[in-house]
Amino acid sequence: MLIRCAVHANKGKVRQYTAFALLSLAVAISCVLAYPHVRRGQLLVVASERLWAQGKVELALNSLREALRHGEISTGSADGMLDAALKVGEGRIARDLALFLIDKGRPVASGLVGRAAGLLDAEGDARGALELLERRRAMGPLARPESLHLADLLRREGRFDEAMAQYAELLAKNPGDTAAGADRAEALIWMGRYAEAEQAARDMLAAGPDSRAAKFVLARALAAAGKTEAAIAEYHKLLGGMP
């Protein structure tokens, strides 16, 4: 009787172990079927890196696009790929890589993000460039070129108060920054504040009489305010007295 009970008990344990093994196998198979992109993504990254090394840029970019789509890129790989994407002028891939690194909390140089934003802006994706610069600014201060580009994008987006704050920050650091001063005056024109734009341009000319940027924005401010003859005179000066 005891032997029979032991046999039944052993059979029960065998059934349990078998059921557990089958369940584990089913789970593993389900994972492989449901998430085949995990391994595929890793292989695409390796393929992209090898293609870069071989100089097969277009093929490398295609592999990289697929790897990004699957989200299987290490931060170490993304660093090198970001630089490579920028070198070949791929703004959208550079943006995706920069955002990937930012999302991972990885420091990304302001200049690298600025180059990606410049490519996006040149491709007609000003909003994408703006989003990228704002995301990078949330991590830490932007360098002067990126700050100026951000202010310009904010102005073009109609976010004038934020643009003016950005210009003010730039000018506080360097009061003689003619590019920031001229862009600030341009923003005032966009806002319909023509008298202030004119005064800002004249202040710039008082500090730097040879500033072509100041002369140009002064002519624009005068024209926008309806001071046609004065605007023509300023454009005439800007053209060096040419008729």
230: left (phi over 0), alpha (psi -120 to 50) or beta: alpha
Structure confidence at residue 12 (pLDDT): 54
50/210 Cα distance (integer angstroms): 52
Which residue, chain included where needed, has tokens 């950005």? Answer: 166
Asked if the structure places residue 233 within a domain, the reply is yes
Number of domains the chain contains: 1
Structure confidence at residue 78 (pLDDT): 77
Structure confidence at residue 110 (pLDDT): 96
Which residue would you say has higher pLDDT here, 151 or 89?
151
**Could you report the per-residue pLDDT of 150-201, keeping only the tens digit for each?**
999 999 999 999 999 999 999 999 999 999 999 999 999 999 999 999 999 9
DSSP 143: P
Lowest mean pLDDT among 1-10, 140-149, 176-185: 1-10
Averaged pLDDT, 50-59? 67
Asked if the structure places residue 204 within a domain, the reply is yes
Structure confidence at residue 76 (pLDDT): 72
CA neighbor of 73 nearest in space, from 97, 103, 109: 97
| Cβ atoms of 215 and 238 closer than 8 Å | yes
Averaged pLDDT, 133-149? 96
Which residue would you say has higher pLDDT here, 60 or 139?
139
Q: Is residue 37's pLDDT more than 70?
A: no
Asked if the structure places residue 240 within a domain, the reply is yes
43/51 Cα distance (integer angstroms): 12
Q: DSSP 3-state assignment of 72?
A: coil
Asked if the structure places residue 21 within a domain, the reply is no
Asked if the structure places residue 165 within a domain, the reply is yes
Domain that holds residue 179: 159-243
Structure confidence at residue 42 (pLDDT): 60
Q: DSSP 3-state assignment of 109?
A: coil
Asked if the structure places residue 128 within a domain, the reply is no
Which residue, chain included where needed, has tokens 């005068």? Answer: 222
Q: DSSP 3-state assignment of 30?
A: helix
Asked if the structure places residue 85 within a domain, the reply is no
- CATH code for the domain in which residue 238 is found: 1.25.40.10
Asked if the structure places residue 53 within a domain, the reply is no
